[in-house]
């Protein structure tokens, strides 16, 4: 092969490599970002664990700073209760509307606490009908207390840990298809609000 041919071949090789490199770089730039996990995956399985930072809250969450109230989203995945009652002004907007959550409250039933039977609860599944003790569904109310772990929504950084006792009363609702025969106390609403208020109503320095 003549020297001029060897130079031409070498230049062609460099050109092909550069072109392929450009294609590879373009492909890397075009790769879609990793989708965020569902917001329901935010809370760790146990209180005190690290919250998952790559959930939808990374986009919808707002920094925990400025004047209160700081909107808080509740995650009841590990609480074995269906609802907690807090003031509307503490709640974030629905379906992505503002305000976004600044805090996420991960609620856990405290499994280290005793689960003694407190009383019997009576439920009827006929709407608007009074409870007939002879026909009502009888369910044992078990003692329960709760741990609430607060995290900053946008960063998943821990903010506070709160302990809340049970309400010592029969929950208003019992699932008709629940055949376990037991139901747990729900968190005491007044004590839950009192414990959360300093973190939600306070002013946080920027």
Q: What is the pLDDT of residues 149-167, one digit of tens each?
A: 999 999 999 999 999 999 9
Whether residue 31 is contained in a domain is answered as no
pLDDT of residue 201: 96
Whether residue 32 is contained in a domain is answered as no
Whether residue 196 is contained in a domain is answered as no
**Range list of H helices, the chain:** 3-30, 57-60, 189-201
Please give the model's pTM, rounded to 2 decimal places.
Answer: 0.78
Percent of residues, the chain, with pLDDT higher than 90: 55
pLDDT tier for residue 132 given thresholds of 50, 70 and 90: confident
Whether residue 17 is contained in a domain is answered as no
Residue pair 204/152 in contact (Cβ under 8 Å)? The answer is no
166 to each of 140, 141, 149, how far by Cα in Å? 15, 11, 16
Whether residue 206 is contained in a domain is answered as no
pLDDT tier for residue 145 given thresholds of 50, 70 and 90: very high
As beta bridge partners, residue 123 has 137
Q: What angle do CA 78, 79, 83 make, to 5 degrees?
A: 125
Maximum CA pair distance of the chain?
106
**What's the average model confidence in pLDDT over 55-78?**
94
pLDDT, greater one: 54 or 173: 54
> Measured between alpha carbons, how far is 108 from 79 in angstroms, rounded to an integer?
4
pLDDT of residue 128: 63
Whether residue 136 is contained in a domain is answered as yes
Owning domain of residue 163? 39-187
Task: Say which residues have a Cβ less than 8 Å from residue 169's Cβ, sequence separation at least 6.
Answer: 185
Whether residue 161 is contained in a domain is answered as yes
Whether residue 119 is contained in a domain is answered as yes
Model confidence at 86: pLDDT above 70: yes
Into how many domains does the chain fold?
1
Task: Say which residues have a Cβ less than 8 Å from residue 141's Cβ, sequence separation at least 6.
Answer: 117, 118, 119, 120, 121, 170, 182, 183, 184, 185
């Amino acid at each position: 092969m003549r020297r001029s041919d060897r130079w031409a071949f070498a230049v062609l090789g460099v050109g092909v490599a550069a072109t392929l490199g450009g294609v590879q770089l373009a492909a890397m730039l075009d790769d879609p970002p990793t989708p965020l996990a569902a917001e329901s995956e935010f809370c760790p399985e146990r209180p005190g664990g690290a919250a998952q930072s790559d959930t939808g809250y990374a986009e919808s969450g707002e920094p925990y700073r400025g004047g209160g109230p700081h909107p808080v989203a509740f995650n009841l995945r590990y609480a074995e209760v269906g609802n907690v009652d807090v003031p509307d002004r503490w709640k974030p907007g629905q379906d992505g509307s503002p305000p976004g959550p600044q805090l996420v409250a991960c609620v856990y039933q405290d499994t280290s606490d005793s689960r003694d039977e407190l009383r019997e609860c009576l439920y009827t599944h006929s709407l608007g009908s009074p409870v007939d003790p002879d026909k009502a569904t009888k369910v044992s109310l078990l003692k329960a207390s709760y741990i609430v772990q607060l995290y900053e929504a946008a960063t998943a950084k821990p903010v506070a840990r709160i302990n809340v006792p049970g309400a010592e009363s029969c929950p208003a609702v019992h699932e008709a298809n629940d055949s376990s025969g037991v139901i747990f106390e729900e968190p005491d609403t007044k004590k839950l609000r009192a414990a959360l208020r300093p973190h939600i109503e306070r002013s946080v320095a920027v």
